[in-house]
Structures are given as structure tokens and as C-alpha cells.
């Protein structure tokens, strides 16, 4: 096995991660899981998610922070100070990638803008910026948090049921999607750099990522002028595709074609439904969806949900028991897929991107604030006396500064 195979597909790649909260750190963790050397540079008060708890582990690290900051070395610099920005430039001199999510204009104010400074000093550097809405345009420069962007980008408006009204999606899907998009952009830029020898700037925004998630709502609007309705656990283009009650857990059933619908009716003991003129084709079933779902609810009500969902899947009908998070994390298939990682008391969700020769892995658990400040600075040529002077002056930090 080569060193790269042992260390991951991105072994040898150096990433400076200035980002905080979720989208940027998630992007950096994706790279770190696959072997990149990620140095997380925190502000003097630390990444704010360090305080987003409980729960906290024995070292005081919040679960929220731990979920998106493994496999990184952690240092702290006060980048409002010119000396700290000089230190950052020293780190960037040997880096491949910079990730940041500062408020628009901050890097430029510090003399660290991509076009004016970084691209000239480090022409091979790939600079990925994660922001809420981008730097320009009618909403350019506005701050972005997941729930607010879900609202502005129309995701809240399509989630929920008529009785509930619009509802925020229950996971930070916009932040996570933006982190993934930034990660894809970095990998694309790295490939292009292998041909051109040049780095480039990557502009990843929460707003763009949220708008891009509108499948099938955007195509329905562009083709048919349709405004999405609130369907709850149902679907606007496909039936049956809904949540049904059972004696145990509810189940979601999605018969995506006529053959699957016929098999569903057979397994429910009422095959004649497949020949009912109201339900013969998907177009018919959409036109008569309330009647269809009422029929199916009666037939599923006395079934054992998890067992029947498995029976449907075994017979080629897409279905899922509505499991809760603890059920999923302890599920044997979750374990089989390697989606729970454990190391030195750390336990969290694994990386979903599987490579056959160079699989991702957990190399180090999330670290305490400033854990690697001294070691990283020494590695980059700073003398011990200089390091201690910077720490005493608050330019570099090993303990978080109280707000």
C-alpha cells in the first residue's frame, strides 16, 4: 500500500480552514476525512459552535462542533492584528486551499483579498469562500443562516402540510449542501490546476445552493407555470408517494411506476385497485390522489409498520419505516455501511463518500481550542521565543479569549 493509499485520496493536500459554524467547516472536514492536512484557524473567542450545547464531552467540546471538525489540527490567531495576518500568509505559502466564510469584504479590508493579494502572492492557491448571498447583487453582502436562506430561497414554502403551513426543513440542508458544493468546487479546481498550474476563486453561497435544490419545483414552474402546493408527506408528481399509518411506526410508500403499484396492491391484499379506472396510471392516481390515499390508509392500518416496509422492499416496492435518529444510528445497516465512526471516545456520523483503494477514515477526534497552535507555528519556521511572544501578546492563542 502506498503512502497515499494509507493516508487517503487527498494525502499531501494542505488546507487552511478559516471558516466557522457549519458550511465551511463541513467542507473542510470532507477533505480532511479523505486525508488532507487541514489546519483550522479560529478567532480569539473560538468557533461559536464550541458553545452550542449541551451536550459537551469530557473536554468541553460541544457535540455540534464535534460533528464537523474532526481530522483537523486547530490553532488560533487574532486576524484583526497585522502580525497575525503575516502569520497567515506564512501558512498560505505552502497551502493548496484556503476556505473562509467571513462577512463579505472582510478579507479585502485586511489586505487579503483574492484578486488583489492572494492570487498574486500564491498563484496556485485555491480560495473557496462560503457566504450567504455572495458579494454583489440586490442581496449581496447580507448575512446568511440556514433557516433564513431556506425562507428567502423558497424551501420553507414547499415544506409542510396544508394544516401546518410552511415549515423549516428539520436539518440544516442549505448549510450542508453549500459545504458539499464548496468541496466539489475545490476538487474541480484542483483538477483544473493540474492542467493549467493555476489556482482560482470559488464562490459558494447558501442562496445558490438552496435555489439549486428545487427539484422538481423549478422544472414544474418553468415548464408548466405551476406554483408548488403544500403536500405534507405526499408528492405533487407521483402517487402513491406518501406516509401511511400502521399498528407500529408509520411507513412511507413510493410506488414509482404502474408495476410497483400493482405489486403494492397485491401485497396489501386488494389487487383489484390496480385495475380501478381511477388508479390505472400515475396520471390517474394523481388526479384521484385523496381517494387513493384513503384506500391505502385503511389497508396499512393493521400492518406492522417496520415488518411490512421490509416486505415491500423485498418485493421491489420502495418503502421505508419512519425511524427516529437513535434507531438509525444503532441500525445494523448503518453499521454495515461504516456510517458510525469511533476513536478515542469520539463517536459520530462517518463520511458518505466511499473510495475503494483510499477510503476515508477518522484519524483524530475534534480538538480543544488552540491545541496545535505552538506545534503548527513551529512547523512553519517560527522560533520558540517568537511563538511565546505572540501568545503573550494575544496574536496567537492557546486559550479562548472571553468575549
pLDDT of residue 233: 73
| Protein fold of 251-321 | formyl-coa transferase, domain 3 (3.30.1540)
Contact 331, 323 (CB under 8 A): yes
The CATH architecture that domain 3-213+336-397 belongs to is 3-Layer(aba) Sandwich (3.40)
Residues 259 and 382: their CA atoms lie apart, in Å, by 69
Catalytic residue from among 96, 175, 208, 372:
175
Q: Distance of alpha carbon 378 from its chain centroid, rounded?
A: 33
Q: Give percent of the chain with pLDDT exceeding 90.
A: 90
Greater model confidence, 164 or 210: 210
pLDDT in tens, 13-62: 999 999 999 999 999 999 999 999 999 999 999 999 999 999 999 999 99
For residue 178, the surrounding DSSP H or E stretch is helix 173-196
Q: Give percent of the chain with pLDDT exceeding 70.
A: 98
Residues 146 and 179: their CA atoms lie apart, in Å, by 12
Q: What is the domain partition of the chain in residue ranges?
A: 3-213+336-397, 251-321
Residues 273 and 292: their CA atoms lie apart, in Å, by 9
pLDDT of residue 4: 58
Cell numbers placing 357: 483503494
Whether the per-residue pLDDT at 403 is higher than 80: the answer is no
Please report where in the chains the cell 498563484 appears, as a residue: 123
For residue 243, the surrounding DSSP H or E stretch is strand 241-244
Q: Identify whether 47 is a catalytic site residue.
A: no
pTM of the model: 0.92
CA contacts within 13 A on the Cβ side of 379: 11
- DSSP characters over 323-337: --HHHHHT-HHHHHT
Amino acid at each position: 500500500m502506498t503512502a497515499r493509499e494509507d493516508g487517503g485520496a487527498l494525502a499531501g493536500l494542505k488546507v487552511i480552514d478559516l471558516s466557522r459554524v457549519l458550511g465551511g467547516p463541513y467542507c473542510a472536514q470532507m477533505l480532511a476525512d479523505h486525508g488532507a492536512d487541514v489546519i483550522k484557524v479560529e478567532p480569539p473567542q473560538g468557533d461559536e459552535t464550541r458553545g452550542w450545547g449541551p451536550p459537551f464531552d469530557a473536554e468541553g467540546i460541544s457535540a455540534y462542533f464535534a460533528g464537523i471538525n474532526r481530522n483537523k489540527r486547530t490553532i488560533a490567531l487574532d486576524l484583526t492584528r497585522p502580525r497575525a495576518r503575516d502569520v497567515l500568509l506564512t501558512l498560505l505559502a505552502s497551502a493548496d486551499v484556503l476556505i473562509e466564510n467571513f462577512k463579505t469584504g472582510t478579507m479585502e479590508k485586511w489586505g487579503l483579498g483574492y484578486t488583489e493579494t492572494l492570487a498574486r502572492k500564491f498563484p496556485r492557491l485555491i480560495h473557496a469562500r462560503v457566504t450567504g448571498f455572495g458579494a454583489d447583487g440586490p442581496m449581496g453582502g447580507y448575512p446568511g443562516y440556514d433557516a433564513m436562506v431556506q425562507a428567502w430561497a423558497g424551501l420553507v414554502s414547499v415544506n409542510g402540510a396544508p394544516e401546518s403551513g410552511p415549515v423549516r426543513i428539520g436539518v440544516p440542508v442549505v448549510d450542508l449542501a453549500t459545504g458539499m458544493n464548496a468541496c466539489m468546487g475545490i476538487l474541480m479546481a484542483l483538477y483544473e490546476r493540474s492542467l493549467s498550474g493555476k489556482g482560482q476563486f470559488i464562490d459558494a453561497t447558501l442562496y445558490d445552493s438552496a435555489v439549486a435544490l428545487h427539484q422538481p419545483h423549478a422544472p414544474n414552474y418553468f415548464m408548466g407555470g405551476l406554483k408548488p402546493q403544500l403536500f405534507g408527506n405526499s408528492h405533487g408528481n407521483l402517487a402513491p408517494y406518501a406516509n401511511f399509518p400502521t399498528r407500529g411506526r408509520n411507513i412511507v410508500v413510493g410506488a414509482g411506476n404502474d408495476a410497483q403499484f400493482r405489486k403494492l396492491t397485491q401485497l396489501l391484499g386488494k389487487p383489484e385497485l390496480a385495475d380501478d379506472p381511477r388508479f390505472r396510471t400515475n396520471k390517474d392516481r394523481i388526479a384521484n390522489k385523496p381517494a387513493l390515499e384513503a384506500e391505502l390508509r385503511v389497508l396499512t392500518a393493521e400492518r406492522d409498520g417496520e415488518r411490512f416496509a421490509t416486505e415491500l422492499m423485498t418485493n421491489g416496492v420502495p418503502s421505508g419505516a419512519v425511524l427516529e435518529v437513535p434507531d438509525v444510528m444503532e441500525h445494523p445497516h448503518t453499521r454495515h455501511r461504516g456510517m458510525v465512526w469511533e476513536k478515542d471516545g469520539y463517536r459520530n456520523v462517518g463520511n458518505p463518500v466511499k473510495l475503494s483503494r483510499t477510503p476515508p477514515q477518522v484519524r483524530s477526534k475534534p480538538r480543544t481550542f488552540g491545541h496545535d497552535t505552538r506545534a503548527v507555528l513551529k512547523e512553519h519556521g517560527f522560533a520558540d521565543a517568537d511563538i511565546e511572544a505572540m501568545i503573550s501578546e494575544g496574536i496567537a492563542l492557546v486559550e479562548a479569549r472571553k468575549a
